[in-house]
Amino acid sequence: MGWGLRIAATALAALTAGGAGAFWGALRVMAPGPLDGPATVVVPRGSGLEAIAETLDRAGVLDEPLLFLYGAKLTGELAGDRRPLKAGEYAFAPGVSISGVLEQMRQGKTVVRRLTVPEGLTSVQVMALLDKEEALTGSVEPVPPNGSLLPETYHFTFGDSRASVVARMRQGMDKALAEAWKSRDGDLPVRTPEEALTLASIVEKETGVASERARVAGVFLNRLEAGMRLQSDPTVIFALTDGTGELGRALTRADWRFESPYNTYVADGLPPGPIANPGLASLTAVLKPERHDFIYFVADGTGGHAFAKTLAEHNRNVARWRAVQQKQSENGETSSE
């Protein structure tokens, strides 16, 4: 039975069962309420009917809590709507009637919140985002491994646990990695899904230009096939910060010599694990890379990169980039490679 028909049935039943007084009570339950603007109200879990009425009264949704209790009983007993009122965060429209409040709470139409996790964050940084979201509850310990969380926009409701959101992030990454691995190109120098995930995290940190991901992935795969070191600056930053986040300064030559299995300037092959949480696009780029002969790349000053097949060509690109950096420095601008 639709809500309009249920209310009509309630009024008719009230008239039949309780006479004119009950009938007019039913009409008052359906009348516009006192709310003069939109309101968001949190009904705590475990709240009984009287506590709910008090919460709504304090928020200005009701002006007669007793009438709310009457309406709940009326629609429950006479109209046969015995669904319980659900706790949660509700957005009520101006003038919402008691019957409208009851229907919204019986259906559990709570506010849907969103948390966006950008690509390329470390797990420590993702946990910091979760900690800042006051609508979530509980904590997550230990911090999940880097590469185990899928960057995405996640929907949740007030009072959901941080652990439940993290569980969805992990399930999302497991699924994305399995599907990407299943459709991978042949003859790639990555032997396992875990290696693909590690390389994808490096690609994610190397470029924010979507159209470049497959090309950057191809460069690193070419280096692996040639037995060259990856020489990726983001791996140095990860090693220096112990995976906690951004370095906050430019890398130095001494940094490139920093001893760590994650520093791909001193260590051969892939690092022991991911240096961040890559998105699906970077996973796809690694497992379906652009096929080319490029071995080198460097920033070009426009947000993208210049690619080269030979060291001589690369050195010319580096010289151009240094000139851009010098000009930016003279103009008081900042840049990053």
Three-state secondary-structure class, residue 75: helix
Query: 94 pLDDT band (50/70/90 cuts)?
Result: very high
Three-state secondary-structure class, residue 51: helix
Tell me the β-bridge partners of 41: 90
- What number of residues does the chain have? 337
Residue with tokens 């949660």: 88
Measured CA to CA, the distance from residue 239 to residue 290 in angstroms comes to 28
For the chain, which domains are there?
Answer: 3-107 (3.30.1490.480), 113-172 (no CATH), 186-330 (no CATH)
**Choice among 65-79, 88-102, 233-247, 254-268 with the minimum mean pLDDT:** 65-79
Residue 58, pLDDT above cutoff 70:
yes
Q: What does pLDDT average to over the chain?
A: 88
Torsion of CA 23, 29, 33, 39, to 10 degrees: -170
* Alpha helix stretches (DSSP H) within 2-118: 3-30, 49-58, 65-73, 98-107
Using one digit for the tens of pLDDT, what is the confidence trace for 277-315?
999 999 999 999 999 999 999 988 888 999 999 999 999
Q: Residues 210, 242: contact at Cβ < 8 Å?
A: no
Measured CA to CA, the distance from residue 127 to residue 129 in angstroms comes to 5
Residue 50, pLDDT above cutoff 90:
yes
Measured CA to CA, the distance from residue 323 to residue 309 in angstroms comes to 21
244-253's contacts with Cβ under 8 Å and 24+ in sequence apart are 244/122, 244/124, 244/125, 245/122, 245/124, 245/125, 250/336, 250/337
Position 81 scores a pLDDT of 63
Q: Residues 256, 136: contact at Cβ < 8 Å?
A: no
Is residue 289 packed enough to be buried (19+ CB in 10 Å), middle (13-18) or exposed (0-12)? buried
